[in-house]
Amino acid sequence: MPRERVVFVHGAGSFGAAAWPRQHGLALDYDCLFLRRHGYDAVAEPLPPDLETDIAIIREALGGRGHLVAHSAGAVPAMLAALRDPAGVSSLVLCEPAVFSLTRDLPATTAHRELLQPLFDAAPGLSDAQYQREFVRRVFAAEAAAAPDEAGLRSAARLRLQQPPWDAPLDIVPGVPTLVLTGGWEPLYEEVADFLVSTGAEHRQVGGNHRPQDTDSGAQAIREFLARRHGES
């Protein structure tokens, strides 16, 4: 009997298998695919995001039916893919999902939009490094690396090309079991989690800041959730 498919959709940072270091072991029990979204490449110049292309990549990777595990901005095309074909998605695991169009008028998301919309508006007039520095300062209250390496420069260029996530045409995915993992560091993501819980999702706060899937508790939560869904594909 073929193993169940699990498709991993990265966020705006690392991509492919590198984005999921604590999930590689799941390949012993599942047919795991670690995707590379549109515009992400280790060598080629970054490209502007393309939601439709990402949705097509995800749906093709699902191969008819499978589980989706997505992080941050990757949760947007993952949820859209599930909306297009709910019957093709056995379950959703969303790690600090940046699905802010669902909560755009709630307090924490409103404050986030007001903080970042001016930066999105100013992006065409900023260099990649300038944009990255300001983004990191506003979102993480920290300073970006003063002299990023080649990979860091490519990441900065990719970051500047992103579109406001609160404009994505999202809706709730009906009938798909969903687990939300958060790191407990930022009210914005807890607000998103609370909203998704109100629509039927499960929520686990497991630490790890913006990468809860990297913690022992987060990795275990993903494994246990998939195990509970086993056989439903």
Mean pLDDT score, 79-98: 96
Q: Are residues 94 and 127 in the same domain?
A: no
Q: Are residues 19 and 132 in the same domain?
A: no
Mean pLDDT score, 138-151: 69
pLDDT for residue 129 is more than 90? no
The top-scoring range by mean pLDDT among 88-102, 128-142, 154-168 is 88-102
pLDDT for residue 27 is more than 90? yes
Output the domain CATH number for residue 35: 3.40.50.1820
Q: Are residues 176 and 224 in the same domain?
A: yes
pLDDT for residue 233 is more than 60? no
What is the distance between the terminal CA atoms of the chain, rounded to a whole angstrom? 12
Residue 167 inside a domain? The answer is: no
Q: Are residues 51 and 136 in the same domain?
A: no
Mean pLDDT score, 5-32: 96
Residue 165 inside a domain? The answer is: no
Residue 37 inside a domain? The answer is: yes
| % of the chain exceeding 70 in pLDDT | 95
Of 140, 160, 180, the one marking the end of a domain is 160
Residue 147, pLDDT score: 55
Q: For residue 28, what is the DSSP state? A: G
The parent domain of residue 179 ranges over 5-103+172-229
Residue 50 inside a domain? The answer is: yes
Q: Are residues 137 and 179 in the same domain?
A: no
| Letter string b/e over residues 57-91, b meaning 16 or more CB atoms within 10 A of that residue's CB | bbbebbeeebbbbbbbbbbbbbbbbbbeeeebbbb
Number of domains in the chain: 2
Prediction pTM value: 0.93
Residue 214, pLDDT score: 98
The residue to which tokens 């012993």 are assigned: 28
Binning pLDDT at 50, 70 and 90, where does residue 146 land?
low
pLDDT for residue 97 is more than 90? yes
Q: Are residues 26 and 87 in the same domain?
A: yes
Residue 200 inside a domain? The answer is: yes
